[in-house]
Amino acid sequence: MIDKLKETLNQASEILKEQTSNIGDAIKEGSSTFSDAAKEKSQKLIDDWLKVFRRLEEYGFKITSFGLGVAISPSLEVELEGSAEKFTLERIKELMEENKDSTSLSSVLRTIKMTYETHSKISSQKYDIVLVKVLVKITPEIKVVLGEPKLHL
């Protein structure tokens, strides 16, 4: 389990490096300031994630909450809910294979898979729903919850 957590952290680190590099590239390509480049990168990041959310809806997740934060670095906060029957571990693995070319979508699917695998080590309890919360900013954050949380994520 620790190895999987390390792997996920390494992948998140790679995404951050890629995003930082893209901001640097935007500055080189003529953005007048670092702030302009950061805004452009944030907008591109948000646009890319909007495609991910549409794809997750196509697979059967329902967006239950959508928020946009406007600041120097805009952000999105999206909660999705899906039936655990539709998103079995086997189905998640199929979707991961189908979407291995999409870093963002793969991150969501990998986090769901890891949540299932980690949970199975402590309990055999089954849940009816899978909740996914994604906070998109320069460094995205993904949380997956099985069941209905009593405290806000």
For residue range 48-102, what is the model confidence (pLDDT) as tens digits? 999 999 999 999 999 999 988 877 778 889 999 999 999 999 999 999 999 999 9
Q: Could you give the 3-state DSSP secondary structure of residue 62?
A: strand
Q: What is the pTM assigned to this prediction?
A: 0.70
| Segment among 83-92, 93-102, 108-117, 134-143 with least mean pLDDT | 134-143
